[in-house]
Amino acid sequence: GSITGIFSVLVEGDDITLDPVADALVGVLDGHIILSRKRANAGLYPAVDPVKSLSRLMPKLVSEEHMKMAMYLRELLSSYESMEDLVNLGLYKRGSSPAVDKVLEHRESIESFLRQNQRSSSPFTESLKKLKDLYLSLTGEGV
């Protein structure tokens, strides 16, 4: 197959579910890339929200191992996102959530993996190797 269209939908505010057109499109398209104002304001580019962005075709296009590693990272980031306000206010207690603890412990390496300079490119195989290295450091597998 090939990409037959790339659509851009601009919504007011940051919650795509509040816009009925955007919400409907998310439900019918094969995937969506959600840009994050918070990541952009923090200077983290590309400013793609890895938790809210999704490819429904990914399971058919990548290996089982690749899917496992990507889903693990998304789950960790999602857990962290749900506790981020508590972390920022200093109210989060380590040990409350192993996933959040793991993100806090490996925050720099996770952000490094998700960040890319505007003038650099990364071949797919190199990105996959970086994902595997990150996964192994997060899980301790293969050590």
Give the best-scoring range by mean pLDDT among 31-35, 60-64, 116-120: 60-64
The string of pLDDT tens digits covering residues 86-136 is 999 999 999 999 999 999 999 999 999 999 988 889 999 999 999 999 999
3-class SS string, 32-55:
ECCECHHHHHCCCCCCECCCCCEE
pTM: 0.86
What is the spatial distance between Cα 63 and Cα 41, in angstroms, rounded to a whole number? 34
What does pLDDT average to over the chain?
Answer: 91
Question: Given a cut of 80, is residue 4 above it in pLDDT?
Answer: no
Element (H, E) at 31: strand 31-32
Question: Given a cut of 60, is residue 11 above it in pLDDT?
Answer: yes
With 0-12 / 13-18 / 19 or more C-beta atoms within 10 angstroms meaning exposed / middle / buried, residue 107 is exposed
pLDDT attached to residue 143: 46
- Residue bearing tokens 């983290």: 44
| φ/ψ of residue 31, rounded to 5 | -175, 165
The full set of domains in the chain, from first to last, is: 1-56 (no CATH), 63-143 (1.20.1270.330)
Cis peptide leading into residue 59 (ω within 30°): no
